[in-house]
Structure 1
Amino acid sequence: MRYSYALVPLVSAMQAMAIDPDTWYFGNSLFYLGPPSGNSAITKATYSIVPPTVPSGAKVSNTKDQVWVSVWVGASSSAGDDNTNLYQPIFNWSLDQESQGCSASVDEWCVAASTFTPSGQLGQPYVTVPNNTPVDFEIAVENEKVVQTVIMDGKVVSKESDALDSPLKYLYSSNECYTGSGNCGSLAGYYINNLTVTLSAADSKFDQVMALNGVTDDGFTSSDGGLTWHTEWVKVNSVDFDSSSAVKSDFSSS
């Protein structure tokens, strides 16, 4: 699945009669940034997230077909083309964490650096995120590679380095649900803090390609003529994955 990282499939369900089982859904609460003008590209993105409380109301009828929920910010050369890489360090949660390769309790999130590629998902082992712990992320282009770094309490806990398939033009967020044999319930709101994006060449109008869908921000501004852009926070609203009006079955910015 392009927009998820899991060791086994995951699924979500909306209202039982309206939504087919074993399907991915994406919450209508995200930011979408890109592309910069001309030949400019994204060379680095840094941000911090304290993951929300784990989803409430999730249920499963077959323990061999678990639900899961993911929260991520990803960078790509395209606006969602399956033939391009998506570099997406990711939070993941399931009613059965061990089924996803994580030793966390059901009240905690797991996190890992990961990359979707056209030939499959690449990723590091999941690491438990203690409740209320800020997690710092960096996605950086270095020597024709994209290096993802995940940091907790000042220590690197996950790192992934993959080939840069093409200059990065987009940075966007998502909340994702795989219904499995049940439903994903509701995801509380959270903040993406201290988001800073660095470009390879200045773009004084980069703020104009920051789209906010079901989120608000503190203002996306640059103090160096358009080379580096920053917002103190992006507030992501809560999502009821079991409501057809709150989700969509494919990923898009609209």
Structure 2
Amino acid sequence: ILSVSTTLILPAAPPPNQGNVSISPGLLNNEPNIDMIQTLATTDSANCGAKRNDQWCVWANAYHCPPGSLDPPNTPDCVTNTAGGVAVNAGTRVTIEYNYDGSSGQVTQIVGIDGKVRLSQSTSSGKGRWMNMITDCDKCWGSSIDAYSYVDTTVVLENADGGFGRGVVMDGVQHSDVRTVDGGRTWKVDWMHVDGY
């Protein structure tokens, strides 16, 4: 994967006493190291200057883990690079871009908030091999999260792959067609609606 762009529209944040909910679209590469680039929206908002409990905190993270790490990025010897965080409200449109530069081997991560670039960093993570979009909850008891959406998602591959769309797995997600616009190198999904739970 050479580049990814998408826009996350944040739902209402669950109460902080119900655990730390996170939404984290990211890229992974496991050759030879385990590298992950991730934009993280979390309800642990006290760490980014949030003024209210119903705000989200948005971070740009990159993890570099040695071969054999069993639970990246939670393995102690993983190195983390972080930019952020920014306190935002429910309904905020978080624009996320990951771009690989073949000449330098660097991946640039750019995060925009309601149309303005707020976070960016470059790391030597290499090309992404997988993309994931995860909803997670730490220390949650009876927590729930409202449905939320991604719009205008584009993935550009290094080489055309006509079967890429058939390999996309979306669990608990309503979505538009996964379609290519150029014979398999550029893939688009207009909208994805992630079910609440």
Q: TM-score, normalization: structure 2?
A: 0.85
Matched, 1:237 2:190: no
2:137 to 177, 183, 191: 177
Answering whether residue 61 of structure 2 is matched by residue 102 of structure 1, we say no
8 Å Cα contact 1:59/1:184 also seen in 2? no
CA distance in 2, matches of 1:215, 1:84: 27
Quote the residue 1:111 is aligned against: 58
Q: Which has the higher contact order (CA 8 A, sep 6+)?
A: 1
RMSD of the TM alignment (CA)? 2.0
Asked whether the equivalents of residues 177 and 184 of structure 1 are also in contact (C-alpha less than 8 Å), the reply is: no
| Amino acid of the structure 2 residue aligned with 1:75 | L
Residue in 1 that maps onto 2:80: 121
Separation in 2, partners of 1:54, 1:109: 7
Structure 1 residues 133 and 59: CA distance shift in structure 2, 3 A? closer
User: CA shift at 1:184, angstroms?
Assistant: 6.3
Deviations 1:87-126 (A, max 9, x none): 00110113xx32xx21112111111111122123221121
Distance 1:68 1:116 in 2: 20
Q: Show structure 1 runs of 4+ deviating over 2 A.
A: none
**One-letter code aligned to 2:100:** V
CA distance in 2, matches of 1:173, 1:184: 22
Q: Would you say how many aligned residue pairs link Structure 1 and Structure 2?
A: 182
Choose from 124, 132, 135 the match for 2:94: 135
| Worse overlay, 120-129 or 215-224 | 120-129
Matched with 2:169 is: 211
- Give the whole-Å Cα distance in 1 for the aligned partners of 2:195 and 2:89: 22
Q: Is the 8 A contact 1:68 1:184 kept in 2?
A: no
User: Counterparts of 1:134-173 in structure 2 under 5 Å?
Assistant: 134-142=93-101, 143-164=104-125, 166-173=126-133
Could you say which residue in structure 2 is the equivalent of 1:33? none
Structure-1 residue corresponding to 2:154: 196
Letter in 1 for 2:145: L
The CA deviation string for residues 207-236 of structure 1, in whole angstroms up to 9 with x for no partner, is 011011111210100111011000101111
Q: Secondary structure at the match of 1:224?
A: coil
Q: Which runs of 5+ in 2 are unaligned?
A: 66-77
- Counterparts in 2 of 1:74-93, with a 5 A limit? 74-78=26-30, 83-93=33-43
Distance 1:131 1:216, change over 3 A: closer
* Superimposed CA distance per residue, residues 147-181 of structure 1 (whole angstroms, 9 cap, x where no aligned partner): 110012332101121112x43110011111110xx
Greater strand content = 2
Counterpart Cα distance in 1 of 2:94 and 2:127? 26
- Name the SS of the counterpart of 1:208 in structure 2: helix
Percent identity among equivalent residues?
Answer: 25
Q: How far apart in 1 are the matches of 2:142 and 2:113? A: 27
CA distance in 1, matches of 2:115, 2:144: 31
